[in-house]
Amino acid sequence: MTNEPNTKRVALVTGATGGLGTAMCKKLYDDGYTVVGSYRSQTKADEWKAQMKAEGYDIELFQADVSDFDSCGRMIAAIEEKVGPVDILVNNAGITRDRAFHKMTKEMWDDVIGTNLTSVFNCSRHVIESMIKRNFGRIINISSVNGQRGQFGQANYSAAKAGMHGFTKTLAMEVAQKGITVNTISPGYIGTDMVMAVKEEIRNQIVAQIPLGRLGGTEEVAHLVSFLASDKASFITGANYAINGGQHVA
């Protein structure tokens, strides 16, 4: 492990306890950042922290409902007080409520837009002024192949994930002169619980459409996050990186 003590940048990964979030936290920790994560469910968070500790990762978790502006504000304030200002924000928290549109409820729409898109405004808004003052920041938004191309049963999810692209491009322009980069990553189907929850028959049909013939690995996405967070990526902003095994080439 290459982690060095506390002289370095602070990285916040929202939705840290999920499959992608966990891989991102570990990779950023291995890179030497002070890593903190957000979580929603206490039981899962306790188990996760114990597991991370057992694996040698010292990662603090902070509770927040990322769909709630004030809850995000309280979380960011707590992180600033305990660890320091956030230098790298990975907007990763996301949920699915898949259903054919004619059966989709307003609640399914609101839940997904709130957690997957409004959350990006909420968390970014609470860190941006401090990033501007310090003349450095990285905001990395985790979108999806299904925000680039649509997917049966995901009108809510695709809309939220597509919305991230407009957000990324605009914010990137606004803060480029302040040492802050804003980028989007669009993973395809990765071997997470979220993807494994899709009915096996449907999932197999989806995998059959991926030229590489397999699901992606969570670490493969984490490596891209690591690169975009690094100083090596300082000329990259407003970009979208697809990582989908060739499933969608645009």
Q: Which of 84, 89, 183 is nearest to 127 (CA)?
A: 89
C-beta of residue 93 within 8 angstroms of C-beta of residue 164: no
The two most distant CA atoms of the chain are separated, in Å, by 53
Of residues 96, 141, 168, 183, which one binds ligand CAA by CB under 6 A? 96
Nearer to ligand CAA, 36 or 210 (CB): 210
106 makes contact with ligand CAA (CB under 6 A)? no
Rounded distance between C-alpha atoms, residue 229 and residue 226, angstroms: 5
Q: Which stretch binds ligand CAA (CB under 6 A): 125-133, 149-157, 162-170, 223-231?
A: 149-157
Instruction: Based on the residue annotation, tell me whether 57 is a catalytic residue of this protein.
Output: no
CA dihedral angle for residue 40, residue 42, residue 47, residue 52, rounded to 10 degrees = 50
3-state secondary structure of 137: strand
212 makes contact with ligand CAA (CB under 6 A)? no
141 makes contact with ligand CAA (CB under 6 A)? no
x/- track of binding to ligand CAA for residues 161-190 (CB under 6 A): ---------------------------xx-
Q: Which stretch binds ligand CAA (CB under 6 A): 49-57, 82-90, 142-150, 211-219?
A: 142-150
Q: Return the half-sphere exposure (C-beta side, CA atoms, 13 A cut-off) of residue 48.
A: 24
Residues in the chain, overall count:
250
C-beta of residue 232 within 8 angstroms of C-beta of residue 31: no
Which residues make up the interface to ligand CAA (CB under 6 A)? 96, 98-100, 103, 144-146, 151-154, 157, 188-189, 194-195, 198-199, 202, 206
Q: Which residues are catalytic?
A: 157
